[in-house]
């Protein structure tokens, strides 16, 4: 994909690694669990609509954000769960707002019954970061300290 290089492997312990993306001046692993709902929690994502929304979300992201990656997507009858990898150069709110806006327009264009009734999506969304667990981070920091101490000892020899 344009915008990011081949993922790098970061050693976070003696036998643990994490895959990170690399761009100019940054290495990152930023994944977000995002949930958004139709206005009034309407049960609109029935068979056919659900599949169309799944395809649309993928293409919407690729059209605008080449380096944003949809890791998982689950469309329920009355809400959407997504695991999205978003580089630090983009605001999560911008990416989610864009997805909601474009998918609403495309769904209304494709399905006549969605054209009336005001907004398709409810205002706002839920977001939570997903990443390396706390214990793994603590071990990584300890490992780095030992690593640096060993290099300092070698430099003094």
The residues that are catalytic are 140
Half-sphere exposure of 38 (CA within 13 A, CB side): 22
Angle between helices 92-110 and 49-64 (to 10 degrees): 130
Alpha-carbon distance of 86 to 73, in angstroms, equals 14
């Amino acid at each position: 994909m344009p915008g990011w290089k081949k993922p790098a492997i970061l050693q976070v312990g003696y036998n643990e690694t994490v895959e990170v993306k690399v761009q100019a001046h940054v290495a990152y692993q930023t994944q977000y669990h995002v949930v958004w709902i139709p206005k009034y929690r309407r049960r609109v994502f029935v068979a056919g609509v659900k599949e169309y929304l799944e395809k649309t979300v993928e293409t919407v992201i690729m059209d605008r954000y080449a380096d944003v990656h949809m890791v998982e997507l689950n469309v329920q009858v009355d809400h959407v769960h997504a695991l999205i990898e978003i580089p630090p150069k983009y605001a999560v709110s911008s990416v989610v707002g864009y997805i909601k806006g474009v998918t609403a327009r495309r769904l209304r264009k494709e399905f006549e019954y969605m054209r009336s009734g005001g907004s398709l999506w409810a205002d706002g969304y839920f977001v939570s970061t997903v990443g390396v667990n706390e214990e793994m981070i603590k071990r990584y920091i300890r490992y780095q300290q030992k690593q640096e101490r060993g290099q300092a000892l070698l430099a003094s020899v």
